[in-house]
Amino acid sequence: MGLIDEIMLQGKDSRLYQALVQKNGLTGDVNGGINELGNMFNINGPVLWDVSLIHDKDKSDEQILKVFDAEIEKIRTTPVDQATLDRALVKKRSWFYDKMEQFNGFGKADMLASLALFDDDPKKINQIEAEFRKVTPALIQKTAQTYLAPENRTILVIVPKGDAKESPAGAPAKSGK
Amino acid sequence: MNHASRRGPAALGSLLFLLAAATAAAGTAPPESPSTGPAYQVDVEYSKLPNGLKVVLSRDTTAPVAVVAVYYNIGFRIEPKDRTGFAHLFEHMMFQGSENLGKMEFIKLVNSNGGTLNGSTRFDFTNYFEVVPSHALEAALWAEADRMKGLAITGENLKNQQEVVKNEVRVNVLNQPYGGFPWLDMPQYANTNWFNSHNFYGDLKDLDSATLEDVSKFFKTFYAPNNAALVVVGDFIPRRPGPGSTSTSRPCRPRSSLRSPTSRSRGRRRRSARARTTSSRPARRSRSATTPPGATRRSTTPWA
């Protein structure tokens, strides 16, 4: 999910940003990632990959989900090309180097501590780049099919109190899309 | 802190060097593909103390600065069931004084040496760290060891921090438009297993219910050296490991039976709606997928 996150969500070249912000103007920004309180390394066990956005009242849930779903479907069904994968890898490596220098070395300490606590092997920090480099378009697709499946998804809509009645999303507990 | 202004001349020097290197490389070798080329290597020395404390040393002498990070294997996913928010409340207690340091003295020790410090509670760990000038490293290690060995667990400190934490919840969540969105909200809707789906910041009544006995028990259960990792990064001379190991102090004893992490549920398909106060703009969040365990674990899918 590390490179899928880069392809789909991180940065302005990401597919969800391009689709929801640039092409369709449905929101001003798209946020999220793996592990809301950290990153894919400082977590032990299953964790959510989440995408969140804030939109104006004149944009409907249905409009947004339609664009969102199309991008999810695309990564599940169409293998990414090498250029896309290469760009994701550059972004991930850049993130990693940035983390190594974060706050006078705290970023590095955070990763080493997590690898020691959860894997009993902090030396794995030196395998991270190599592991990302092994990822293929086929593995991206297989991973997307496994984890970005509709039955593995939750949608949370938060509506201001005064708008609850007028918004279709205000209806209690709609069944999942 | 403004790093940019301090780094001006050095950064320019590096830039010129990089440009020169790139020019030299251009004529002799094909451009490097993202999927090949050299990988960054981090200096890592790993050992365990007799009391079970994991110690990681990573030397980097670029600047005369050192980071001390102590991570305890307790996050809010496995805090006690009737004590939501307790892992975070306990984090606050770690700043209220220890065996040999009075209230605020830890913070003064670090700050007066030109350092900074903080701590945080996350899903699977609680961390404490100091960034200090290298010469103050030993003092920081000693202070971390001191609070690992014994805390000032008093009624006054607990009452004080219960109020502090409740106020933190009010400031960040209850009195904030979309407060806690999405980090605090989403797990409560996406997950069914209590460990993943409870209010991590804590219900105010649970925070109020915490007793000194709870604090003591939590400390003894989770804040043992064999449930922690100490990392030192930066400019130091590798010589002597940290908390619990110095010959001048009473050893920090391991705990014989550690509670193992509880199973964590997967997300489930669901669509929810709820009303919130303030702000005229509706917010929405779509989330896909519970992802596999952390990237370094087992299968290849985390990397993809």
Q: CB-CB: which of B36, B67, B302 is closest to A1?
A: B302
- The 3-state DSSP class for residue A54 equals strand
Tokens representing residue B40 in the block: 């960054």
How is chain B split among helix, strand and coil, in percent rounded to 5? 35, 20, 45
ipTM: 0.91
For A64-121, the pLDDT digits (tens) are: 999 999 999 999 999 999 999 999 999 999 999 999 999 999 999 999 999 999 999 9
| Whether the model pTM is above 0.80 | yes
Rg (CA), chain A: 18
Q: Which of A135, A13, A87 is nearest to B34 (CA)?
A: A87
Instruction: Give the up-direction half-sphere exposure of residue B74: CA atoms within 13 A in the CB hemisphere.
Output: 24
- How do the pLDDT tens digits run along chain B, 304 residues long? 333 333 333 433 344 344 444 434 444 555 566 667 777 899 999 999 999 999 999 999 999 999 999 999 999 999 999 999 999 999 999 999 999 999 999 999 999 999 999 999 999 999 999 999 999 999 999 999 999 999 999 999 999 999 999 999 999 999 999 999 999 999 999 999 999 999 999 999 999 999 999 999 999 999 999 999 999 999 999 765 555 444 444 667 787 766 554 444 444 445 544 434 344 444 455 554 666 555 445 577 889 8
CA distance B300 to B304: 7
Of B39, B124, B273, the CB nearest to A173: B273
Strands of the sheet containing B228-234, edge to edge, are: B45-48, B54-59, B228-234, B65-72, B126-133, B116-121
Report the C-alpha gap between A51 and A49 in whole angstroms: 7
Angle at B52 between CA B47 and CA B58, to 5 degrees: 30
Best A8, A117, A128, A133 residue to mutate vs chain B (most B CBs within 10 Å): A117
pLDDT greater at residue A36 or residue A176: A36
- C-alpha dihedral, B206 to B208 to B213 to B217, nearest 10°: 40
* Inter-chain CB proximity A112 and B271 less than 8 Å: no
Which B-chain residues 8-37 have CB contacts (< 8 A) with chain A? 33-36
A80 touches chain B (CB under 8 A): no
